[in-house]
Amino acid sequence: MYKPLKKEIVSVLVDNQANVLTRVVSMFGRRGFNIDSLTVSATNDPTLSRITIVFNATERSMQQIITQTEKLEVVKSICLLNRENALYRELLLIKVNNTDAQRTGIKEIVDVYRGKIVDLSRGSMIIELTGTPEKLDGFLDMMSTYDIVEVCRTGLTGIESSPDYR
Amino acid sequence: MRLTGSQIVAEVLLDHSVDTVFGYPGGTALNIFDELYKYSDKIHHYLTAHEQGAAHAADGYARSTGKTGVVFATSGPGATNLVTGIATAFMDSIPLVAITANVPDNLIGRDAFQEISITGVTMPITKHNFFVNRIEDLEPALREAFQIANSGRKGPVLVDITKDVTADSIEYTSKAPYELRKNPQPDGEVVKKIAQLINEAERPVIYFGGGVAASDAGTELNRLIEKADIPATYTLMGAGVVGSDNPHSLGMLGMHGSISANRAVSQADLLVALGARFSDRVALNPAGFAKNAKRVQVDIDKSEIGKNVPVDEATICDVREFLHMLLPLIKEQKREAWAAQIQEWKESEKIVHYEGEGACQLHPDEIVLKACELTDKDTIYVTDVGQHQIWAAQYVKHEKTRRFITSGGLGTMGFGYGAAIGSQLGNPDKRVIHFTGDGSFHMNLNEACTAVSNNLPIITIIMNNSVLGMVYQWQTIFYGKRFSNTTPERKTDFVKLAEGFGAKGYRATTPEEFEDAMKKALQADGPVWIDCIISREERVLPMIPAGKNVEDMIID
């Protein structure tokens, strides 16, 4: 009856005040949506913050959570981002153990993905990489043959690239 | 003028023409209650037995008067005791402002005595809430609370104020309330399409809910029904908008709705939903609901459009504004074939009395019909939740909006007595009848002390079957008569209990005894309870089981 689940990204502009994140996130929680990733950040207006949420939804349930979230007093606007009209970035930090012999191989992969080695010691290194979630996934896949100690991702943030977004 | 936070609370209430409030004092609320004492000639605070009763009273006051209900409570347990009352108002979109005190700001977050984050607790059951720990935020928060509670789809708002703010002071000037937010306007093109659908339909049905009452669109709706000759059915929240003797009225829809309402919706070629949300007690099986019809929905809340059942046309606006735009486009006509079909269904309807083993001489419909017969059309009927609630909904002669006060969405047992007290205080010239069951009444009958203290002539009619009837009915039908925890064998003597509270009590076991007790009750000047003994085997019928269709309706 419903279309299959797909990953949706919404960008929510909210009042910058205490509890605002709880209000928005609890709306998703109580309507049964599981959030994949979440970022909150300042905007150029100090009274407003932007929350970017990635979650799984069917077409109908997605409309429902958008209209429900829109009703919150703290929400100024909400829009659904899609691949065609928005840019997304996510930041990844990864710590990898390595031997001297492995180091050049890792560096090659990092260069192809245009990442940076931000910390290097004799036995391990920390790599920083920015990009779309797909790019980060691809990089992690390439790195999976190495001894990964820890992975941190910031979650997604996004911005509309054209004025005629929905 | 420089005023304290507590004075500002009182002044903002006066600016909003609030003269009646409900609540319960406590440690952190002392400053506020000290001001309520000084303002007692302008604002009457009614003390209840329990904060839940106060919240229901404020809710009943709002439902029966159309004004905003206001309730006060102290921090901690005082505030948490409001929760069920606030949730009840939230589910039924009732404008309510709850004002709670909290511990002083320097103790916030330290698990101080009677400290609770009530804004956190009430986040999912309020339209919005405010935590005020700075005096300069107090006035705007209170004013916004009234604005939000009454704008668009109405609902409860909570303002939590730390005790230090209630003592702190700031400049204050009296001013008019904030203007309500502008409603979205009906989409003219969609209204034209809807008018065309109505004009061309052969078997249209109007299905309306609490939104019609909330927007005071009763007159316009009745005009539409007459002009276009359309039968109309209502949800529990819509009772009273179309008079019970109006031949176009199909009665209530849904799980315990009438045969004609449920059949009409299933056979309709057009369903016009006005201020209603296709809840699971109406659209029991959303996929099969009005499946032969084009469906149209008008609601002020965008998130309700297509939430439960997909619709073909919709416009987001106030129902009254919609009807104003629609009415001139409606062709006057008669739909004789459809009316004849509906008449046939109506004639098949019957009242079922339980006559088997353990039958009693008094039956639910006789109680409700007699109570209506002995009271006038302005009477306010308040219910608790359960079998008695549905019997009241089915048999009360609904004549006017704001005269049937019941907890629809949340289904709150224990709602009735508090709501009856609020209704009576908001309508001192009207008769208030409170229908309850022995289960619901046991939850909050402590409010009898409030009714007695204020000498309120509320007549409480207890449909006493000695069981938790609605659950007992489900256990009878669906659970092999395994009566788990529904037959408590209580020995409560309601007549003596009423007397213990300082009220009057009567018992009725036959229609004659009930009539006699009602007549005495109508002469009394304080609260009266009538304990009506009915059989535990009486069922609420018709019934469509949850998730099923009209074809699965249980009729007898």
Domain ranges of chain A: 6-81, 87-158
Task: State how far residue A111 is from chain B, nearest Cα, in angstroms.
Answer: 48
Residue B176 carries which DSSP code? P
Residue B286 carries which DSSP code? G
Asked if the model's pLDDT at residue A3 lies above 60, the reply is no
* Nearest by Cα to B300 from B185, B381, B158: B185
pLDDT reported for residue B395: 97
CATH for the stretch A6-81: 3.30.70.260
Q: Which fold has domain A87-158?
A: Alpha-Beta Plaits (3.30.70)
Average pLDDT of chain B? 97
Task: Tally the residues of chain A.
Answer: 166
Asked if the model's pLDDT at residue A83 lies above 80, the reply is no
Q: Is B470 a catalytic residue?
A: yes
Which two three-digit tokens encode residue B333?
Answer: 């006509």
Per-residue pLDDT band for A166 (boundaries 50, 70, 90) equals very low
Print the SS3 string covering B180-223. CCCCCCCCHHHHHHHHHHHHHCCCEEEEECHHHHHCCCHHHHHH
Average pLDDT of chain A? 89
* Nearest by Cα to B114 from B79, B65, B145, B82: B79
Which two three-digit tokens encode residue B309?
Answer: 């059942």
Measure the CA–CA gap between B34 and B57, rounded to whole angstroms: 22
pLDDT reported for residue A60: 75
Q: Could you tell me which residues come within 8 angstroms of residue B343 by beta carbon, excluding any fewer than 6 positions away?
A: none
Task: Using the Cα atoms of residue B303, residue A60, residue B236 and residue B538 in order, give the sign of their dihedral.
Answer: negative
Q: End-to-end alpha-carbon separation of chain B, Å?
A: 68
Residues 112-151 of chain A whose Cβ lies under 8 A from any Cβ of chain B: none
Asked if the model's pLDDT at residue B153 lies above 70, the reply is yes
| pTM of the predicted model as reported, rounded to 2 decimal places | 0.94
- What is the Cβ-side half-sphere exposure of residue A13, based on CA atoms within 13 angstroms? 13
User: CA nearest B129 in A: which residue?
Assistant: A73
* Nearest by Cα to B244 from B368, B390, B395, B348: B395
Asked if the model's pLDDT at residue B394 lies above 80, the reply is yes
Tell me the three state secondary structure of residue B110.
coil
Asked if the model's pLDDT at residue A106 lies above 50, the reply is yes
Decide if A6-81 and A87-158 have a common fold. Answer: yes
Per-residue pLDDT band for A165 (boundaries 50, 70, 90) equals very low
Whether residues A71 and B301 touch (CB distance < 8 A) is answered with yes
pLDDT tens, residue by residue, B224-260: 999 999 999 999 999 999 999 999 999 999 999 999 9
pLDDT tens, residue by residue, B395-419: 999 999 999 999 999 999 999 999 9
pLDDT reported for residue A34: 87
Across the A/B interface, how many CB contacts are shorter than 8 Å? 31
pLDDT reported for residue A163: 62
- What is the Cβ-side half-sphere exposure of residue A15, based on CA atoms within 13 angstroms? 11
pLDDT reported for residue A32: 86
The catalytically annotated residue of B127, B163, B294, B504 is B163
Measure the CA–CA gap between B203 and B200, rounded to whole angstroms: 9
For an interface test with A, give the residue of B123, B147, B305 to mutate (most A CBs within 10 A). B123
Q: Is B307 on the interface with A (CB under 8 A)?
A: yes
pLDDT reported for residue A4: 52
Print the SS3 string covering B8-44. HHHHHHHHCCCCEEEECCCHHHHHHHHHHHHCCCCCE
Q: Is B129 on the interface with A (CB under 8 A)?
A: no
Cβ-nearest to B302 among A19, A30, A67: A67
Per-residue pLDDT band for B128 (boundaries 50, 70, 90) equals very high
Q: How many CB atoms lie within 10 A of CB A97?
A: 12
pLDDT tens, residue by residue, B418-448: 999 999 999 999 999 999 999 999 999 999 9
- Measured at the CA of B238, the angle between CA B146 and CA B371, to 5 degrees, comes to 110
Query: What is the arrangement of strands in the sheet containing B459-464, beginning at the earlier edge strand?
Result: B404-405, B380-383, B432-437, B459-464, B528-533, B504-508
Q: Are A131 and A115 in contact (CB under 8 A)?
A: no
Measure the CA–CA gap between A60 and A66, rounded to whole angstroms: 10
Q: How many CB atoms lie within 10 A of CB B346?
A: 19
Quote the ipTM score.
Answer: 0.89
Mean pLDDT of the region B19-47: 98
Tell me the three state secondary structure of residue B91.
helix
Per-residue pLDDT band for A2 (boundaries 50, 70, 90) equals very low
- Measured at the CA of B35, the angle between CA B31 and CA B40, to 5 degrees, comes to 145
Q: What percent of chain B has pLDDT over 90?
A: 99
Q: Is A64 on the interface with B (CB under 8 A)?
A: yes
pLDDT reported for residue B257: 96
The catalytically annotated residue of B38, B42, B113, B350 is B113
Domains and CATH numbers, chain B: 2-171 (3.40.50.970), 188-347 (3.40.50.1220), 364-533 (3.40.50.970)
